[in-house]
Amino acid sequence: MAALQFGIEIAASADRVWAFFLPQRMPLWYGPEMDIHLEVSGGAGEFAVGQKVRISGRLGRREVSLTAVVTGYERLRRLEWRFSDRYGVRGRQRWMLYPVTAETTRLHMEDVYTLPGRLGWIADLLLVRWSVRSRDRRWLSNLRRLAERVPTRGSAR
């Protein structure tokens, strides 16, 4: 089992950062390299505890999909889900927002997962963990870039 943790400071208010944790905006920073799509049960515009989320996309020529169930949700504070995919990978992702000042937010992310099979932990140590760590950091950098972006004059807000 891998348990990865990351923290990042974002020069934006917590409500501005949280706006990117809505189902229709998450693909802007979460999984953009896979052109992911989030399908939320009932087509809801905001997450809720117990809700199923199907995440699908393409990684190269391979179609990737997983199912997540929202296990924790506090608006402007926390989103957590447990996930599994068709290859037997299971885990949990959690994002916690901590307002530092009115215009600065600290985001903490946890990514915990297990790979199936007897050799899953070896594959994780040799290949997967480095890749997941790099991917998660890239996603958080994307989120920071988007949240810190200042709208230009005359653009839609």
| Domain locations along the chain | 2-148
CB neighbours of residue 91 within 10 Å = 22
The structural architecture, per CATH, of the domain 2-148 is 2-Layer Sandwich (3.30)
Closest-CA residue to 83 (of 24, 33, 30, 119): 30
The two three-digit tokens of residue 12, written as one number: 């934006």
pLDDT over 70 at 155, yes or no: no
Q: What's the helix, strand, coil split of the chain in %, to 5?
A: 30, 40, 30
pTM of the model: 0.89
Helix (DSSP H) and strand (DSSP E) numbers for the chain: 3, 7
CB neighbours of residue 15 within 10 Å = 12
Q: Mind listing the pLDDT tens digit for each residue in 72-112?
A: 999 999 999 999 998 899 999 999 999 999 999 999 999 99
